[in-house]
Structure 1
């Protein structure tokens, strides 16, 4: 099923806003309203479950990356409307960062999210990252 252009634009803007917040390593409480209670994250071979799993993952990022060095650029979005207000979102993400030890990272990954749309409010149910070679 096709998503309206308006909803696609809103969802793309929302995702880009989340990555801007991630670049700033915002506090966990910023992200919680956008995550399902049972959110599943699969990132570079690591799996995290629920809000506590997300907090663990963010804590690992805050401990490893130099604050102010992260830069995410999302593009090439595709959207599939599923049943019950669910939306499958796929896109490419370019990621640049520096560790606290000065190691530089530059990667491109493929992301697949399962998002619930409830009256224009989006929540992530599943967040999967696949490295590109």
Structure 2
């Protein structure tokens, strides 16, 4: 068996218009497709991340809250490569999105920081 690169990550949001704006306008992700699934009262928004990856943003009526802290088992966070950490932090700050102080990865020596989406999903910026 051979696994290739990851294809997508699925994210369920609590407020679709707020999360759609966050991921498209603030993070600048391109919309591939947007589908309303009437039988589920749910939107599915496919977003392009780089050349080979996607985020599937779902809305469902009354989803349970995500456990973020203390850290729980399962997917911990989603990380994005960026070319210039300060420029992305500045853009986020302009939209009122707070980031943690920049840290250094003790293994790679690379700089990174964390911030959160509207549902407090931890997101990481990792400088190339």
Q: What TM-score results when the alignment is normalised by the length of structure 2? A: 0.28
Larger radius of gyration: 2
Larger helix proportion, structure 1 or 2? 1
